[in-house]
Structure 1
Amino acid sequence: MQVRSRLLPLLRSPLLGELLAWLYLHPGDSSSVAELSRRFGTSQSTVSREADHLVRAGLLREERRGNLRLLQADLTNPLARPLTDLLALTYGPAAVLADVLPAIAGVEAAYIYGSWAARYAGEAGPPPVDVDVLVVGDADEDDLADAARAAERRLGREVNIHRVSAAAWHAPGDDPFLTSVRSRPSYAIVEPEA
C-alpha cells in the first residue's frame, strides 16, 4: 500500500513530492531517470512511471538522448510558479539543503529533524513552520549561518542549523538533545562516509 504524503496531502506519495521538488527547485537543470532513482532510493521504473504521468500532465518536459531520458520542470505551464512555491514550502528543504550543505567544508553528516522530518516520515500533525537541521562535523559557524540564510530565502521559512562535533554525535546517550534527535525521525541530507 502506498503511503500518502503528510507534507503535501494532495500528493499520492512522498516520492512524487520529492521528484517534483527536485525538478522545480532546480529549474535550469535536467536530471536523468537514473540520477533521480539513485537520489530517491527507488527503481528507475518507478521514477519513469511517475515521470510519464507528469509529462502527460504538462508539468515536466523530457528529452531523449539515445537511451538517456532527461527530465526538467516545464516552466511554461501556468501552474509552474504556484507549484514551485508550494513545493518549496513542503518538499523544498530536502532539495535546497542538498545544494548548500555538501559544499561546506567540515560537514561530515547533516540531518533534518523535528516537525519536517516527522511529517516526511508520515507522522500526522500541522505543517512545519521551520526547518531544523543537525550538522555533524567542524564546519565553520559563519558558513553554516550563511547556508541557513540562503536556504531561508529559497524556502520562505526559517532554517535552524545546530552543529555538533563528530565525537559528540557518536558518544553514548549523554546529551539529552542528541538522544532526542536520534530517537525521532530524521532525513539525511549529507550521509556520513562509511
Structure 2
Amino acid sequence: MLLPLLRSPFQGELLAWLFLHPDGEFSLIELARRLGVSHATASREADRLVSSGLVLERRMGNLRLIRSNQSTVVTRPLTELLAVTFGPMAIVGELLAPIRGVDRAYIYGSWAARYQGEPGPVPGDLDVIVVGAADPDDVFEAAGTAQRRLGREVNVRIVTPAAWAAPGDDPFLQSVQTRPLFELDLAV
C-alpha cells in the first residue's frame, strides 16, 4: 500500500535500497538476506530491473553485483518517490545501527500500518521507537539525518528495554505494541 504502482513490496524495497544507496554495489545474496527473500526471488527481480535499464549488473566469477543506474531520465524522480515510500526501511536502520546502546528499533504509526497493507494515504511523517540505552543526542542526530534524506519529519522516542518488555500501565507503549510495527534491520 505504500506505492501501489509497484508489482510487490519486495520490488519497492529492492529499488529503494539500490536508489537510496547510489554509490553502492550489492550482491544478490546480500540483498536477498537483507530484504528477507530467497536468492531466486532476488535474481528474478534483478533480471527484470536490469532488462528495464533501471539497474546495472556486473559479474565477478559466480557473484552477481547490481547497482542503480544513475544515468536514466527517471533516476531523480524515482529516487524521490522511493525515499518517501519505501525509504524508511532503507535508511533509518542503517543510521541507527552504529549507535552504541540501540538494542532494537521499530517504525510504528501510519507508515508501519501502510507497510502492513492497511489502506490510507502516504504518511507525512515517520514514527520511530528506539529500545535501548543510547545517547539521546546520537539518536536525534541520526533522526535529523534521516529526515533530510527522506524528505519527511522523523519523530523518535527512546524507551528502556525494561519498559518495552513490560509496558505496565503506560498507555503509549501499550498502544504502540498493539498496532502494526516494522522492526528495522540494525545489521551493519
TM value normalised by structure 1? 0.94
Residue pair 1:108, 1:190 contacting (<8 A) in 2 also: no
Does 1:96 pair with 2:100?
no
Which SS does the other structure have where 1:117 is aligned?
Answer: helix
Pairs within 5 Å for 1:30-45: 30-45=25-40
2:52 aligned with 1:57: yes
Match of 2:117 in 1: 122
Equivalent of residue 175 in structure 2, options 176, 180, 184: 180
Shift of 1:57: 0.4
- 1:21 touches 1:87 (CA, 8 Å); kept in 2? yes
- Of 44, 49, 66, the residue aligned with 2:61 is 66
Give the Cα separation in 2 of the matches to 1:87 and 1:54. Answer: 15
Q: In the alignment, does 2:75 pair up with 1:75?
A: no
Percent identity over paired residues: 59
1:5-58 CA distance string (max 9 Å, x none): x00010011000000000000010111110111011110000110110100000
Q: Given the alignment of the two structures, is residue 47 of structure 1 paired with residue 42 of structure 2, yes or no? A: yes
Partner amino acid, structure 2, of 1:79: V
Structure 2 regions of 5+ residues with no counterpart? none
Of the candidates 103, 120, 129, which is equivalent to residue 108 of structure 1? 103
Structure 1 residue 172 displacement after superposition: 4.8
Instruction: Give the CA deviation at 1:174.
Output: 2.3
Report how many residues are paired.
187
SS at match of 1:11: coil
Judge conservation of contact 2:99–2:138 (CA < 8 Å) in 1: yes
Matched, 1:19 2:14: yes
Distance 1:169 1:157 in 2: 26
| Unmatched segments (≥5 aa) in structure 1 | 1-5
Instruction: Determine if the alignment matches structure 1 residue 157 to structure 2 residue 152.
Output: yes
> What is the rounded CA distance, in whole Å, between the counterparts of 1:191 and 1:146 in structure 2?
17
How far apart, CA to CA, are the structure 1 residues paired with 2:48 and 2:169? 49
The answer to whether the 8 Å contact 2:106/2:181 transfers is yes
TM-score normalized with structure 2 length: 0.97
Q: Is the 8 A contact 1:133 1:161 kept in 2?
A: yes
Say which SS state the counterpart of residue 152 (structure 1) adopts.
helix
TM-superposed CA distance for 1:191, in Å, is 6.1
